[in-house]
Structure formats: C-alpha cells, structure tokens
C-alpha cells in the first residue's frame, strides 16, 4: 500500500448559511407546532379549570422551573463547548466531554430533587390556593418536578446535536410530540383529571422527547459515545457549569418570575388575564428566538476560530431581520389581539390596551438581549453576564413589590422593562469587550429602526381601540394584510439602504433544497 492510498479524504466544509437556515426552519416548525397546539388546547384548559385555577396552573408551571436553579447546566456547557471546538477537537475529546457532562449532571440531581421538594411543599402557600386544593397542587407540582428532572438528563443528547450544528436532524419531531401531548391534555381535562392529569402528561412528553433525541443522535453523529474522564476534568467542568448555574438562577428570577409575582401580589385571576393577553406576544418572541437559535451554533464555530468580524456581521444581520419581524408582527398583534382573545376564550380575559402594548415591549426587549446572551454563552465566559443578570433580577423584583400591588399588570410590565434594561445595555458591552470591537454604540443604523418601530407600534396600540372584527376569517385576512403592509413600510422606512442590501444578500442565498456541502 502506497503512502498516497492512506491519505485521509479532505474534510467537507460546513455550509454555515444552509445549516443556519435549516436549524431555524426546524426551530420555527417546533415552536409553531407548540403555538398551534396551545391555541387549540388552551380554551379547553381555561374552561375546564376556571379562571382562578388556570392562573394557579400557570404559576405552578413557572414555579417548578425554580428547581432547575440547583442544576449546574452541564448540558449547556457541553453544547457550547462542542459548538466552540467541533472543528478542531479529536473525537475522543468530544466523547470525554459527553461523559463529563453526564457525571456532573448525575451528581447534582439530588440537590435538584431536594429543591423541588421544598417547592412542592410551599406551592399551595405561594399560589394562595384554598385549603381544598392543597393536596392536588402538591401532587401536580411533584409530577412537574419529575418532568423537569427527566428533561435535565435527556437534554444531554439535544445539547450534542445542537452543538454539532445539526439541530435540523430533529425537524418536526418535537412539534409532533407536543401535538400528541396537547391531545392528551384535552383528554385529561374533559375526563376530569384536572391539574394532576395535566402534570402527568408533562412527564409522558418528557420521556418520549428524550428517548427520541437519543435515537437521532445515535443515527446522526458518528463519533457520539461515552469516553474517559477524570476527577480533575469533572471539577473543571463543574466550575464552568457553576457559572451557568449562577446564570440559570438569575435567569429564573429574571424571565420566569412574572406570573409568580403577579399571582402572589395581585391574585391568580390577574395571572390568567396576563397569560392570555401575552399569548400572541410570546408567539412573536418564540418565533424570532427560533430563528436566532438556529443561527447561533454556526456563529459558535466562527467564535472558536476567532473570526470576530464575521461574528459582528452575522449579529448585525440578525438584528436587522429581527426588527423587521418584530415590527410587522407586532403591529398586527396590537391592532388585533383584543378581537383574537374575544373569539378565542372570551373578551373578559383581555387585559387592556396599555397592558397589551407593555407586554409586547417586554417580549421585544427580551428578544434583543437574548441574542447577545446566546453569543456570550459561546464564549464560555459567564462571570460578567451573571453579575448583570443578578442586578437586573434584583431591580425587577424590588420594583414589582412596589408597583404591582397598586397597578397590577401595568406595574409588573414596567418593573420588568426597567430591570431588564440593565441587560439591554450590559450584554452588548460584554460582547464588544470580548471581540475587541471599538465601533460606536449609538449610530444612525441602530437608532433608526428603534425610532420607526416605536412610532409604528404606538400608533397601532392607539388605533386598536376602534378595531373590532366579526369572525376568524376577517381576523386572519386582516392579520395577513397588516403584517405585509407593516413589513413593507418598515423595510423602506426603518432600515438603512446598506442594511437592506446586506440582509437581502443573505436571504436571497438561502435555498431549502440546496445540499449541505
């Protein structure tokens, strides 16, 4: 055998644009499936549980997530570690990372269970439920904590898939599982199983989702397996995971405490109005985040190679497209949300015009600082991010205790907007320092879309007071026209010519059927 015959074949170049597109499509399908399922299932749950108990259910689903604060988020470290070095590390090193993440996760599970047990015991007190519901609430909360633990373990496989920039391999899977779970929730409600039945469905979907991801990873990633690890690597991984755990704790208070605070300070009925009114705003946030989540792993590869100019350009294009999506969809939400809720579950669940506008702004704010949050995760340098998050959480909770008691949903929304503004400013500063970016923070290109979007959204909120449509056909027709019209206006008025050319250059190159080379 000659020397030439044993040479390795050249490694195929990863098509970042195409994979980013496919990953985004996958995330959009999954989130769209979840939203459609929620749209169909929610009226059954609201009517089956009643307004007050539905508010308690919303609080429980958010509250049990606090058990995750005790999790070191080793799977997140694994995802970003693989994203950072997948093109330069040996297979054994990647396998070793998988094993290390599993060991760290298993070591922390007892603490997660203890924290979950505390939450289960105090859940009736926090929700201010009547004594007759205490046992039911504790039982439902126990199942929700169990589903959380199952997800924590199985997240290992999804982290590997996403870290390898192969999230598109699961296209449609999660949406299908969520749809099945939604059908089971309707069955549980109609058969009278209430909160306990809903929480048992969460356990079922967690098991099925985890098993499915394991199968996909085994079929799609040739190197996947468990390698050797040692105590020093576990300790090192645990320290890095500790920063992710600290961030998870601050993030829980920051992003997943609104319903708990509102319910505790104002009552579960206000939680129901808040949750129903924010359904469409959450849909926008989830849709845009799905696009971003599909792109970020590809940016992780650029970060690992220290190609910071490309990272900055990719972030700029993402921000431009986000402004376009947010404004066009946001105008439709503000104009039509009252009619949507009236047709969906009843107009008495609509929180109000100003509340609708503030809730949308909360979602928009989260979209933008989470772009930078995900990119910072790729750097695996979490210290400053955690500090900013803790400060933002503290300000938000302090203001909520001051404002919610008198101003309810408006007070909560204002508290969130002010507290999270720390991240709106802080996260970009962290990235600029990390990438040695000396460009100006405030430029016309950054100010123009903000100003135009704000004017369009405020105008839509004002006009919404006179918008009332008769049926679903009129609502969807109006929605299509509004989104298209608002998008065209913002494309030419809210985005500069250079940014339009840059964004169009990316969009025009994307082809769904193009092979990944």
The torsion defined by the Cα of 190, 194, 197 and 203, in degrees rounded to 10, comes to 120
Top-confidence range, 78-82, 378-382, 427-431, 505-509: 427-431
pLDDT at 317 (0 to 100): 79
Q: Place 210 in a pLDDT band, splitting at 50, 70 and 90.
A: confident
Question: What span, in angstroms and rounded, lies between the C-alpha atoms of 133 and 135?
Answer: 6
Per the structure block, which two tokens stand in for 267?
């009552």
- Can you tell me the mean pLDDT for 374-380? 66
pLDDT digits (tens, 9 = 90+) for 400-420: 888 888 888 899 889 989 988
pLDDT at 225 (0 to 100): 62
Share of the chain above pLDDT 70, in %: 71
CB 214, CB 72: distance < 8 Å: no
Share of the chain above pLDDT 90, in %: 11
Question: What span, in angstroms and rounded, lies between the C-alpha atoms of 447 and 5?
Answer: 59
List the Cα angle 345/351/356 in 5-degree steps: 105
pLDDT at 150 (0 to 100): 86
Return the domain boundaries, the chain: 15-252, 278-510
pLDDT at 334 (0 to 100): 92
Burial class (CB in 10 A: 0-12, 13-18, 19+), 174: buried
Within 8 A by CB and 6+ apart from 268, the residues are 51, 52, 53, 54, 55, 56, 58, 59, 127, 128, 129
- Given phi > 0 = left and psi -120 to 50 = alpha, else beta, which region is 436? left
How many Cβ atoms are within 10 Å of 329's Cβ, its own excluded? 23
List the Cα angle 461/349/29 in 5-degree steps: 75
pLDDT at 275 (0 to 100): 86
First to last CA, the chain: 30
Per the structure block, which two tokens stand in for 459?
């105008």
Segments of 361-442 assigned E as strands: none
Mean pLDDT (the chain) is 77
Question: What span, in angstroms and rounded, lies between the C-alpha atoms of 300 and 319?
Answer: 17
Residue predicted with more confidence, 458 or 67:
458
Question: What span, in angstroms and rounded, lies between the C-alpha atoms of 147 and 152?
Answer: 9
pLDDT digits (tens, 9 = 90+) for 183-209: 999 999 988 888 899 999 999 988 888
Query: Does pTM top 0.85 for this prediction?
Result: no
pLDDT at 515 (0 to 100): 42
pLDDT digits (tens, 9 = 90+) for 134-163: 989 999 999 998 888 888 777 777 777 766
How many Cβ atoms are within 10 Å of 99's Cβ, its own excluded? 18
pLDDT digits (tens, 9 = 90+) for 338-350: 999 988 888 888 8
Q: Place 232 in a pLDDT band, splitting at 50, 70 and 90.
A: low
Q: Where do we find the tokens 């645990």?
A: 238
Helix or strand or coil: residue 218?
Answer: helix
Q: What is the DSSP letter of 345?
A: T
- Can you tell me the mean pLDDT for 464-480? 89
Cα radius of gyration (the chain): 23
Query: Is the alpha carbon torsion for 36, 468, 278, 56 positive or negative?
Result: negative
Res 516 pLDDT > 70:
no
- Can you tell me the mean pLDDT for 322-335? 90
Residue predicted with more confidence, 160 or 387:
387
Res 16 pLDDT > 80:
no
Within 8 A by CB and 6+ apart from 60, the residues are 123, 127, 137, 140, 141, 144, 195, 199
How many Cβ atoms are within 10 Å of 306's Cβ, its own excluded? 10
Backbone angles phi, psi at 511, to 5 degrees: -135, 125
pLDDT at 308 (0 to 100): 66
Per the structure block, which two tokens stand in for 78?
């694994």
pLDDT at 246 (0 to 100): 64
Residues in the chain: 517
pLDDT digits (tens, 9 = 90+) for 263-322: 888 888 888 888 888 888 888 877 777 666 655 555 655 655 666 677 777 777 778 888
Burial class (CB in 10 A: 0-12, 13-18, 19+), 471: exposed
Q: Which of 411, 320, 427 has the alpha carbon at shortest distance from 373?
A: 427
pLDDT at 7 (0 to 100): 43
Q: Place 447 in a pLDDT band, splitting at 50, 70 and 90.
A: confident
Q: Which of 431, 260, 282, 430 has the alpha carbon at shortest distance from 356?
A: 282
Q: Place 514 in a pLDDT band, splitting at 50, 70 and 90.
A: very low
Question: What span, in angstroms and rounded, lies between the C-alpha atoms of 139 and 28?
Answer: 33
């Amino acid at each position: 055998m000659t020397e030439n015959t044993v040479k390795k074949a050249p490694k195929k170049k990863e098509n970042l644009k195409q994979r980013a597109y496919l990953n985004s499509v996958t995330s959009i399908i999954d989130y769209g499936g979840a939203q459609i399922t929620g749209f169909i299932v929610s009226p059954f749950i609201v009517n089956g549980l009643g307004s007050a108990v539905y508010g308690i259910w919303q609080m429980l689903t958010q509250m049990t997530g606090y058990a995750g604060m005790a999790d070191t988020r080793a799977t997140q470290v694994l995802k970003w570690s693989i994203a950072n070095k997948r093109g330069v590390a040996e297979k054994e090193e990647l396998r070793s990372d998988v094993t290390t993440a599993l060991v760290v996760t298993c070591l922390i599970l007892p603490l997660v269970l203890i924290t979950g047990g505390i939450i289960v015991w105090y859940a009736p007190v926090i929700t201010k439920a009547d004594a007759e519901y205490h046992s039911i609430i504790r039982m439902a909360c126990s199942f929700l904590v169990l589903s959380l633990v199952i997800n924590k373990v199985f997240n290992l496989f999804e982290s590997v898939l996403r870290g390898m920039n192969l999230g598109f391999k699961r296209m449609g899977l999660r949406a299908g599982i969520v749809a099945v779970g939604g059908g089971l929730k309707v069955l549980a409600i109609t058969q009278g199983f209430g909160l306990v039945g809903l929480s048992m469905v969460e356990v079922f979907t967690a098991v099925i989702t985890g098993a499915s991801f394991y199968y996909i990873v085994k079929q799609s990633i040739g190197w996947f397996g468990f390698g050797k690890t040692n105590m020093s690597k576990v300790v090192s991984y645990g320290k890095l995971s500790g920063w992710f755990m600290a961030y998870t704790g601050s993030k829980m208070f920051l992003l997943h405490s609104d319903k708990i605070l509102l319910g505790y300070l104002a009552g579960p009925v206000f939680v129901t109005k808040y949750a129903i009114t924010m359904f469409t705003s959450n849909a926008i946030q989830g849709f845009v985040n799905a696009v971003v989540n599909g792109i970020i792993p590809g940016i992780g590869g650029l970060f690992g190679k220290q190609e910071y100019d490309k990272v900055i350009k990719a972030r700029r294009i993402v921000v431009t497209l986000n402004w376009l999506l947010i404004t066009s969809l946001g105008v439709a939400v503000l104009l039509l949300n009252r009619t949507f809720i009236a047709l969906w579950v009843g107009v008495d669940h609509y929180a109000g015009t100003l509340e609708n506008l503030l809730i949308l702004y909360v979602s928009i704010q989260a979209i933008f600082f989470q772009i930078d949050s995900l990119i910072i995760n790729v750097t695996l340098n979490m210290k400053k991010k955690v500090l900013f998050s803790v400060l933002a959480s503290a300000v938000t909770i302090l203001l909520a205790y001051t404002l919610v008691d008198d101003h309810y949903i408006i007070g909560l929304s204002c508290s969130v907007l002010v507290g999270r503004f720390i991240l709106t400013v802080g996260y970009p500063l962290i990235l600029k320092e990390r990438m040695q970016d000396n460009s100006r923070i405030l430029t016309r290109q950054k100010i123009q879309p903000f100003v135009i979007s704000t004017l369009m959204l405020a105008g839509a909120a004002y006009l919404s007071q006179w918008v009332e449509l008769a049926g679903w056909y009129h609502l969807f027709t109006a929605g299509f026209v509004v989104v298209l019209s608002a998008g065209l206006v913002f494309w030419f008025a809210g985005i500069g010519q250079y940014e339009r050319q840059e964004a169009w250059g990316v969009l025009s190159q994307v082809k769904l059927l193009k092979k990944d080379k």
